Amino acid sequence: MDYIMAENLLDQDQQKQSAKDAHVSSLKSSTGISFEQSYIDPEKTSSDLLKHINAFRDLSRESLLAYSRLIVRVHFAPGDTIIREGDEGDSMFILIGGVVRVQASNQEDDQEKSVKLKPGGIFGEMTLLTGSPRSANVIADTECVCLKLKKVDVDNLISDEPKFASLLTSILSERLNSHGGIKQVGKYRLMGELGRGAMSVVYEAWHPTLSCPVAIKMLPHEYLHYPDYKEKFHKEGTILAKLRHPNIANVIDTEEAYGTYFIIMEKLKGKTLEEYSRKNGLPDVDQCVSIIINVAKAISEAHRHGIIHRDLKLSNVMIDENNEIKLTDFGIALLPGDQLKKIENIEGTPNYMAPEQILNQTIDARTDIYALGMMGYKLFTGKSPFTGNLKDILDSQVHQKSPTPGSTRSGSTPVFDQFVLKATEKDPNNRFQTAQEVIDFFDRTAEVKVENINVSTISFVYGDGEILKVAKLVDMISETCKKHDIKAIF
Ligand SMILES: Nc1ncnc2c1ncn2[C@@H]1O[C@H](COP(=O)(O)OP(=O)(O)OP(=O)(O)O)[C@@H](O)[C@H]1O
Ligand SMILES: [Mg+2]
């Protein structure tokens, strides 16, 4: 039998086969240690060992310690069968010394394929995600030392503390990304990664019946363990799938697979507003107003259907080359507010959170209005009004009045400043009460300017060679007019 690199191994269509194949997925991706390294110092403590393994690399220290307490070291002699195809899987293994052979029968050509794993490689891990029977034989090629992690211990740990489920998300994301790893989520064939957020990964995939690319968002495994989340996911997912609006990224479907949820949505062109500002520079106030109005239209439609977004932020709005705006990531992609606060390393979201969300009080459409105001501030100024550590930011969101965008960057208008102040009022009763009110506010202020128009003309008298001086003057006047919300035409 040939030993071949795992990348060339399996290319199956169906999810079941895909999960099976993940046992023998890429050698490169499953080894956290460089391919040449043949031995990990087994004298190291388990938590020291774990942090060198890819699937554990991004876990918090607390998680590493929790998992290292569950781990037992096991030794195998050459020729020992560590895992037998078809057996009930009850643990995953991390190889820390020696070499093992993973052998799987390929249903397509009836050939047995085999791959060698070296220290740092993990095997049997799909058991933790699916609980399905072993799909390959794993045999010790030499004397081997492994760390064994039992599924029942992992399940117990996670049911006590859902945050420890990040290991499962990490294992799955490795398998979804690796050559020869999982190729299928439900009926959708994976094509590659589109991007990563603080909590999730978004993949490109192929829709088999519509024959078009879609975006698939994998949600963290821990969500499934929060009370009522499952119900909310299915209820809101169904409503979202029916929602159609030019400013909303269509949700096409949802899937439950590999122990977690996936949201299948329209694949968008363009960039998130966050990326857009980084690459193109900060938008001017008129562009900001136009973006805010489009996002307000999107949330107004969602609110009409009883959906609150809960996570409005620049990275959840995409803009394409025609300046079309699409809002993504409605509430089902978000951890409940009280859990969100416990996550130390979460980026972005706390900067948009309304006081009632932080205080775990009832949230409603006006919670989205608050985030819309915060979004307007950040879009125009490039910063969030409140900085510091997570606790400082959350405290400020509850107690401190937001500064105006105009006090941070010149070029704002009194109207835009007023929008931000009113939208970010701490008491929801003092905010715009609906997204439609925001749209009307901008419409009304635009109309006032048109209805009461007064025009003053200025002439410049200048000599030959003074045109540059005049151009400079025009720039200065133009800037000052902007500051005072006066339209200047030259
Ligand atoms: N529908 C989509 N079409 C194309 N690309 C997308 C789509 N949705 C997300 N992306 C890409 O995937 C990246 C990650 O999205 P994701 O929603 O996970 O991150 P985020 O909004 O920054 O953070 P969070 O984890 O809080 O949602 C985005 O920055 C974007 O580049
Ligand atoms: Mg997002």
Structure confidence at residue 4 (pLDDT): 27
Same domain assignment for residues 352 and 216: no
Token pair in block for residue 103? 């052998």
Same domain assignment for residues 318 and 360: yes
Separation between Cα atoms, residue 62 and residue 47, nearest integer Å:
10
Residue 194 lies in a domain: yes
Reported as a pLDDT band with limits 50, 70 and 90, residue 33 is: very low
Across 20-31, average pLDDT: 37
In sign, the C-alpha dihedral spanning 23, 27, 28, 34 is positive
Separation between Cα atoms, residue 375 and residue 445, nearest integer Å:
20
Same domain assignment for residues 50 and 114: yes
Ligand 1 atom, smallest distance to 347 CA: 26
Across 166-172, average pLDDT: 93
Say whether pLDDT at 299 is over 50.
Answer: yes
Residue 233 is classified by DSSP as H
351 in contact with ligand 1, CB cutoff 6 A: no
Question: By alpha-carbon position, which residue is closest to atom 11 of ligand 1?
Answer: 195
How would DSSP label each residue in 44-55? S-HHHHHTTSHH
Distance 182 CA to ligand 2 centre (A): 23
In sign, the C-alpha dihedral spanning 273, 276, 282, 285 is negative
Residue 170 lies in a domain: no
Distance 333 CA to ligand 1 centre (A): 11
Distance 383 CA to ligand 2 centre (A): 18
Which CATH number covers residue 226?
3.30.200.20
> Of 266, 291, 315, which residue sits at a domain end?
266
182 in contact with ligand 1, CB cutoff 6 A: no
Separation between Cα atoms, residue 237 and residue 252, nearest integer Å:
9
Q: Closest-lying ligand to the alpha carbon of 203? A: 1
Same domain assignment for residues 102 and 36: yes
Q: Percent of the chain having pLDDT more than 90?
A: 53
Separation between Cα atoms, residue 313 and residue 103, nearest integer Å:
47
What's the predicted TM-score (pTM) here? Answer: 0.76
Residue 298 lies in a domain: yes
Token pair in block for residue 38? 């043949």
The stretches of 31-106 forming alpha helices (DSSP H) are 46-50, 54-57, 61-70
Residue 1 lies in a domain: no
Which CATH number covers residue 84?
2.60.120.10
197 in contact with ligand 1, CB cutoff 6 A: yes
Domain boundaries, position 34: 6-161
Residue 373 lies in a domain: yes
Same domain assignment for residues 423 and 361: yes
Partners of 146 in beta bridges: 74, 95
Residue 34 is classified by DSSP as -
Same domain assignment for residues 140 and 258: no
Residue 178 lies in a domain: no
Distance 221 CA to ligand 2 centre (A): 17
Same domain assignment for residues 110 and 29: yes
249 in contact with ligand 1, CB cutoff 6 A: yes
315 in contact with ligand 1, CB cutoff 6 A: yes
Distance 145 CA to ligand 1 centre (A): 40
Say whether pLDDT at 160 is over 50.
Answer: yes
Same domain assignment for residues 127 and 224: no
Same domain assignment for residues 42 and 148: yes
Residue 369 lies in a domain: yes
> Of 242, 266, 290, which residue sits at a domain end?
266
> Of 91, 126, 161, which residue sits at a domain end?
161
Please, which residues have CB less than 5 A from ligand 2, an ion? 197, 316, 329
- Total domain count, the chain: 4
Structure confidence at residue 348 (pLDDT): 54
Residue 13 lies in a domain: yes
Lowest mean pLDDT among 85-99, 174-188, 412-426: 174-188
Same domain assignment for residues 294 and 380: yes
Q: Percent of the chain having pLDDT more than 70?
A: 83
Positions marked catalytic: 311
Same domain assignment for residues 400 and 283: yes
Q: Closest-lying ligand to the alpha carbon of 173? A: 1
Same domain assignment for residues 277 and 364: yes
